[in-house]
Amino acid sequence: MLGSKGKLRRFKVAVEQGSNEDVTAFAEAVAATLGDPRSWIGGGNVRLQMVAGADKADFTVYLATRDTAGKMCQRGGTNIRINGVPYTSCRTTGQAIINLDRWRLSAKPYLNAKVPLATYRQYVVNHEVGHELGHRHEGCPKAGGPAPVMVQQTLTTRGCVPYAWPRRGNGFLTGPAR
């Protein structure tokens, strides 16, 4: 169980077959991110529990190749293409879909700021799960400050600096609605 208070949300993890990614390693990375007190559980409003394949889950965190992610996101009403190529990750009902290209390569705002790949991975999990938990995109509250996790940091930090977590200090880091 991740977190100690709040509504319980159960999740599964899945990795696209043939992607050459280790489902156990991905599951461990997702659980470590979501179980961190800087993540969504830190506010005491939600508890998260990873469940096995046959168990009932509220949502699934998928790691999918860019083409599969593009198709899954499009079916859910979100176009993740940049210059014709599926680029970003997305959330559709019951699914946080992580684009394997971003998982392996990061994204320009993180690369330009020389932020480690592991930190980008924490960001993308927190961002897409944040959508599943009901959070919408946000803007940068203070130029040069940390970007709220609901800023679309894969594309731009909107004047903020990359930051992978929903919480900072004792509270949630939020920005203006977008």
pLDDT of residue 5: 95
Instruction: Count Cα neighbours of 69 within 13 Å in the Cβ-side half-sphere.
Output: 27
User: Domain limits at 85?
Assistant: 7-172
* Residue 1 in domain: no
* Residue 2 in domain: no
Instruction: Count Cα neighbours of 121 within 13 Å in the Cβ-side half-sphere.
Output: 20
Average pLDDT value for residue range 27-45:
97
| pLDDT digits 0-9 by tens, 40-55 | 999 999 999 999 978 9
* Residue 178 in domain: no
* Residue 40 in domain: yes
Distance CA 85, CA 160 (A): 26
Q: Per residue, what are the HEC states of the chain?
A: CECCCCEEEEEEEEECCCCCCCHHHHHHHHHHHHCCCCCHHHHCCEEEEECCCCCCCCEEEEEECHHHHHHHHHHCCCCCEECCEECCCEEECCEEEEEHHHHHHCCHHHHHCCCCHHHHHHHHHHHHHHHHCCCCCECCCCCCCECCCCCCCCCCCCCCECCCCCEECCEECCCCEC
Distance CA 77, CA 112 (A): 30
pLDDT of residue 60: 97
Distance CA 163, CA 22 (A): 26
Per-residue confidence at 178, pLDDT binned at 50, 70, 90?
confident
pLDDT of residue 54: 87
Confidence check: pLDDT of 81 > 90? yes
Average pLDDT value for residue range 166-176:
96
Q: For residue 51, give the CATH number of its domain.
A: 3.40.390
* Residue 136 in domain: yes
* Residue 95 in domain: yes
Instruction: Count Cα neighbours of 97 within 13 Å in the Cβ-side half-sphere.
Output: 29
| pLDDT digits 0-9 by tens, 110-138 | 999 999 999 999 999 999 999 999 999 99
pLDDT of residue 53: 79
* Residue 61 in domain: yes
Q: What is the pTM of this model?
A: 0.97
Average pLDDT value for residue range 48-77:
96
Percent of the chain predicted with pLDDT > 90: 97
Number of domains present in the structure of the chain: 1
Average pLDDT value for residue range 148-170:
97
* Residue 135 in domain: yes
Token representation of residue 75: 């079916």
